[in-house]
Chains A and B, each alone.
Chain A
Amino acid sequence: MDTTLSSYTWCQFAPEFALVAVAVIILLADSFLPQIPKRIYALVGAAGAFVITCLMARGEYANWFGFLACAATTLTLLLAYDYRKITCESIAGSENEDGTAEFYALPLIACAGICCLGQAKDLVMLFVSLEVITLSSYVLAGYFRRNQGSIEAGVKYLILGAMSTGLLVFGAAWYFGTTGSFDLDPLMAHTALSHGYLSTGFLMATALLLAGALFKVGAAPMHMWIPDVYQGAPTPTSNFLAIASKAAGFAALCLLLRPFRPFAEAYPGTVSILVHSLSIVAAATLLIGNLGAIGQHNAKRLLGYSSIGQAGFILIFFVNLGGDIEPYVFNYLLAYALATAAAFFAIAMLRTQRGSEEISAFRGLGKTNPRTAFLITVSFASLAGVPLTMGFLAKYYSFCALIQAMGSWNGLLWLLPVMIVCAAAGFYYYFKVLRAMYWEKPLESDKPLRVPAVTAAVLTACSIVIILMGTYPLLFS
């Protein structure tokens, strides 16, 4: 009997070890070298994560989801560096930096979990790496212990996250019971599918496993935590959850659906129940995310609903189960990550200087800081899917995937109007931010924002990539 553990080598996890090593060095330095200012650790961590990002882009350690996670961690740590004033106030209640170093080390550990997830081949690895991510995220979400919102976000995330873990492991037990292995291999599904339909036990296992992964991406009906946690958690954490943790969820979803893909290609009929369930989840996610966002006033909460809506568009790629999934999911996630990170940097800057996270805090930026306002406009336009931005192409591929799926399975046509309505709703709520920037007058007391160097660099870089990839998509392929 082949054991699942032997199919991994130690060397293939070198980047993950490096990430954890950086995190451990930060923690040790925090304990033994108290004279070093803690904000240095954010930059050290960001530098480490950036090196690993380059390592994951191509070559021996190429790992798409790992690449995305490391890039997101770099951005998160840079954001945490610019956000340090609020971090210190919310932890020590003063300018004192004591007790903030873990805030810079934990994203690295979670990131190592996501990179492992990108290489997982079986459920044991998938479960352990998902837990590495969620356990670090609980701490990060509840880190601001003097802030009511952060504690509430932490507890809510903990309860709902632990529940999804319970569903996932119960599903894993039944997957083992019905297939006799934890391997996520088409051979395993073959035993369960040999009668031309899915057996009840295997179906239950799949449903529970998918519920666990769908919780991470925030798909309906497991989306409840997203708006609350994004709003309450520290802004760098919200950024991490919105980008890296979401990428982890989609990596898990790709893995869990891998056993079915050969069947979807060859015999679409056998997995039609899976495709139709996914299409219902995708439609519900799209509607809840996009229609829920319309009434929001808090910018972080708006991005929470927006992330649910965008997850709906990504789920459409999974409805087209027989087609190419990973490249398009990666492309969409990259477009979403760049625009969302830029938006969170803008929100963090407003929180630090204007003391508010409401959409109204964007008022008059078009007059006071025209260049920054333009960069923010690019990122929100990309989220909405304006042509010539990366977000437009990503959404376009999502529509293409649905049309392709309609060729293999009947009864998916109703998704098309849902997607069109949701894409249109996106224009309304993302443009609320733009309206606040250009149509609302700044208050008398509003001074122009001082844009920190890191924020300026990140906003510029994100905008350039969004526009380049939107106008010339083959550039980095």
Chain B
Amino acid sequence: MTPLAHYLIFSGILFSIGLAGVIIRKNIIVVFMCLEMMLSAANISLVAFSRAQGVNGIPMYDAQVLALFIVAIAAAEVAIGLALIVAMFRARKSVESSALNTLKD
């Protein structure tokens, strides 16, 4: 059986890639995909922990319940996010983060 650490390292790498993408990438759609990657990383950790904490082969379902909630909320977030990005494209004719420049000190 694959040890817990492998899952955790994998999810840590996925999370770091997501976070780095959010910070580095300029295209809002790509940034948004990276945000979803961060949530998926958390889901992988949750399911791995739920297996590892289980007794007698029965996982602790608490963590899987949270994972389901995360999936549902991520879907809602995508619906709102894409709507906002479409509105932004209509207003600015661009989805680059450099187009977000009207509000500043």
Contact with B45, one of A139, A145, A174 (Cβ below 8 angstroms)? A174
> In this complex, what residue of A is CB-closest to B58?
A1
- Give CA–CA (A153, B88) in the complex, Å: 10
Chain B residues closer than 8 Å to A1, beta-carbon distance = 60
Question: Which A-B residue pairs are the 7 nearest by beta carbons?
Answer: A166-B38, A173-B45, A169-B42, A177-B49, A228-B103, A162-B35, A170-B42
Query: Using a CB–CB distance below 8 Å, which chain B residues touch chain A?
Result: 8, 11, 15, 18-19, 22, 28, 31-32, 35, 38-39, 41-43, 45-46, 49-50, 52-53, 60-63, 65-66, 69-70, 73, 76-77, 80-81, 84-85, 87-88, 90-92, 97, 100, 102-105
The interface-forming segment of A123-131, A237-245, A246-254 is A123-131
- Give CA–CA (A466, B70) in the complex, Å: 41
> In this complex, what residue of A is CB-closest to B45?
A173
Q: Are A159 and B28 in contact (CB under 8 A)?
A: yes
Task: State which residues 118-138 of A face B: CB under 8 Å.
Answer: 123-124, 127-128, 131, 135, 138
Chain A residues closer than 8 Å to B52, beta-carbon distance = 177
A-B pair number, CB within 8 angstroms: 140
- Give CA–CA (A272, B102) in the complex, Å: 42
A128 to B: closest C-beta gap in Å:
6
Chain A interface bracket (under 10, 10 to 19, 20 to 34, 35 or more): 35 or more
Q: Are A173 and B87 in contact (CB under 8 A)?
A: no
Q: Are A154 and B102 in contact (CB under 8 A)?
A: no
A460 to B: closest C-beta gap in Å:
33
Q: Are B80 and A139 in contact (CB under 8 A)?
A: yes
Chain A residues closer than 8 Å to B103, beta-carbon distance = 149, 152-153, 156, 227-228, 231-232
Chain B residues closer than 8 Å to A301, beta-carbon distance = 105
Q: Are B66 and A138 in contact (CB under 8 A)?
A: no
User: Which secondary structure dominates where chain A touches chain B?
Assistant: helix
Q: Are B35 and A163 in contact (CB under 8 A)?
A: yes
Q: Are A135 and B76 in contact (CB under 8 A)?
A: yes
A8 to B: closest C-beta gap in Å:
13
- Give CA–CA (A193, B55) in the complex, Å: 23
- Give CA–CA (A4, B87) in the complex, Å: 40
Q: Are B80 and A166 in contact (CB under 8 A)?
A: no
- Give CA–CA (A268, B50) in the complex, Å: 32
Task: Assess whether A295 is interfacial by the CB under 8 Å rule.
Answer: yes
Could you give, for residues 173-184 of chain A, a 1 whenever the CB lies within 8 Å of some chain B CB and a 0 otherwise?
110110011100
Contact with B81, one of A148, A156, A158, A167 (Cβ below 8 angstroms)? A158
